[in-house]
Amino acid sequence: MVFDPQDNIFMLAGPVKIHPRVLKAMNTPSIAHRGPEFTEVNRELRELTQYLFQTKNDVAILSGSGTAGMDAAMANLLDKSEKALTINNGKFGERMGQLAKIYGENIELKYPWGSPPDLGEIEEILSKEDIKVLALTHNETSTGLTNPLPEIAKLAHKYGAILVVDGITSVGGIDVPVDKLGIDVCITGSQKCIAAPAGLALLSVSKKALEAMHDKKTYYLNLKKHVEKLRDGQTPYTPAVHLHLALLEALRMLKEEGLENRIKRTASIAEACRAAVDALNLELLPDRKYASNTVTAIKYPEGISDKDIRGRLKSEYGIVIAGSQAPHKGEFFRIGHMGLVQFRELLATIACLEVVLAKAGWKFEKGAGVAAVEEYM
């Protein structure tokens, strides 16, 4: 059966379900991007973005995906004579390292997918090398693992490194208090926990980071220009105007719910999902201590394929979940529960997961996964 996309239950690790209010905000006539109306939009966006990041630092909004934000951070902070230390334990930590290597000298600490970094190894390199930037992905979407950010932040401060954090699937869903942790550059994307359409990167930028930036390394992604213009409700170049309008409505909705409440709801749904995994005799990819609250990565049982699970969930029940990425394609699947996801979506997902697992021959107590979720509702 082919389902209407509007009827699908969207449980990806982003992009996520978009609320009708946000869609309506986009469905407006064009407005002048240098006019007073759009200036007020950007002024409110600046305040709400600071609320999102829990910061008094400057912020920037770039027309581009989260990767544009990562690229901007590395391009502005590094040159070929400067060193970055990056942590690679998944697809997006790997990407941070690739960007650092383009603009500067990169020292990469590499770990198996689903494994946390060794804090001792991080400190050893920081103590021996002249590291300007310590960069990591906080919530590794590819593996459902949340890296130990507070501990890593302390090491960055101890050795004077500028701390750059990819918070693309954590900010707004997991607690990331930028000022409390002393994060110099934090990056997120509009299409994840914020629940707006894809296409905007949001960054918080500390005074320390601004002072350490190179003015002539990049033109469009020059963060100093973006920061300075947004202070006045402007952007240095023509932005994605209607995406700004959508982002504004999504951030208004987040504030209405309350950042703390959204984080708590997301955590509760994540705990219920992990309980269902246990009840169905399945296994998480990462150690439970590091399991993400915005996406759960689950190993495929031996003999059960991606087609058996993801394929059937979508074609038979209209439930869209994520697979695993190269080089681990087909080894595990991922259930996203960020943004606007509620218990009802998780309950339907687990109920249908039970059905497709049973059809594939997996053994478990019928209804155990659903019962596990109900305990948290």
User: Per residue in 59-112, pLDDT tens?
Assistant: 999 999 999 999 999 999 999 999 999 999 999 999 999 999 999 999 999 999
pLDDT at 188: 99
Q: What's the pLDDT at 170?
A: 99
Q: How many domains does the chain have?
A: 2
Do residues 229 and 167 share a domain? Answer: yes
pTM of the model: 0.96
Across the chain, mean pLDDT equals: 96
Domain of 302, CATH number, reads 3.90.1150.10
Mean pLDDT of 232-237: 97
Both 226 and 267 in one domain: the answer is: no
CB 78 within 8 A of CB 100: yes
Residue 320 and residue 292 share a domain = yes
Of the candidates 225, 257, 289, which is a domain's last residue? 257
Q: Compute CA distances 254 → 14, 51, 97, 220, whole Å.
A: 17, 10, 32, 29
Q: Are residues 181 and 273 in the same domain?
A: no
Contact (Cβ atoms closer than 8 angstroms) between residue 349 and residue 9: yes
Q: Residue 215: its pLDDT value, please?
A: 82
Which residue, 171, 175, 176, is CA-closest to 189?
Answer: 171
**What pLDDT shows up at residue 4?**
62
pLDDT of residue 3: 59
Take residue 336 and report the two structure tokens written for it. Answer: 């996203």
What pLDDT is recorded for position 123? Answer: 99
What residue type is assigned to position 287 of the chain?
D
Does residue 325 surpass a pLDDT of 90?
Answer: no
Mean pLDDT within 141-163: 98
Given this model, what pLDDT does residue 327 score? 84
Domain co-membership, 60 together with 110: yes
Q: What does the alpha-carbon distance between residue 24 and residue 115 come to, in Å, rounded to a whole number?
A: 41
295 in Cβ contact with 281 (< 8 Å) = no
Q: Is the predicted pLDDT of residue 257 greater than 90, yes or no?
A: yes
Please list, residue by residue across 293-318, b when 16 or more beta carbons sit within 10 angstroms of its beta carbon and e when fewer do.
bbbbbbbbbeebeeebbbebbbeebb
| d(C-alpha 321, C-alpha 8), whole Å | 10
Query: Using only C-alpha atoms, what is the Rg of the chain?
Result: 21
Residues 151 and 43 in one domain: yes
Say yes or no: 151 and 230 in one domain: yes
The CA distance from 72 to 99, in Å, is 9
Supply the DSSP symbol for 322: B
Instruction: List the domain range (segments joined by +) for residue 231.
Output: 20-257
For the chain, give the percent of residues with pLDDT over 70: 98
C-alpha distances (whole Å) from 307 to each of 98, 171, 290 are 32, 32, 28
Query: Which pLDDT score is estimated for 6?
Result: 67
Nearest to 73 by CA among 162, 200, 153: 162
What integer is the mean pLDDT of 13-19? 93
Residues 167 and 244 in one domain: yes
Structure tokens that stand for 4 in this block:
């209407």
Are 160 and 228 in the same domain? yes
Q: What secondary structure, in 3-state letters, does 358-369 show?
A: HHCCCCCCCCHH
Are 373 and 271 a contacting pair, CB within 8 Å? no
Query: Is 36 found in the same domain as 11?
Result: no
Distance CA 167, CA 183 (A): 11
Q: Which of 197-206, 216-225, 242-251, 341-350 has the lowest mean pLDDT?
A: 216-225
DSSP label at 370? H
Distance CA(272)–CA(350), nearest Å, equals: 10
How many whole angstroms separate alpha carbon 193 and alpha carbon 197? 11
Residues of the chain with pLDDT > 90, as a percent, come to 95
Of 257, 289, 317, at which residue does a domain stop?
257
User: Which of 209, 237, 257 is at the close of a domain?
Assistant: 257
Q: Are residues 146 and 275 in the same domain?
A: no
Q: What is the mean pLDDT of residues 188-197?
A: 98
On the question of pLDDT at 130 being above 90, the answer is yes
- DSSP alpha helices (H): ranges in the chain? 20-26, 36-53, 66-77, 91-103, 119-128, 149-158, 178-181, 207-211, 223-231, 241-257, 259-279, 306, 312-317, 343-359, 368-374
- CATH number of the domain enclosing 213: 3.40.640.10
Q: Are residues 234 and 281 in the same domain?
A: no
Tell me the pLDDT band of 2, cut-offs 50, 70 and 90. low
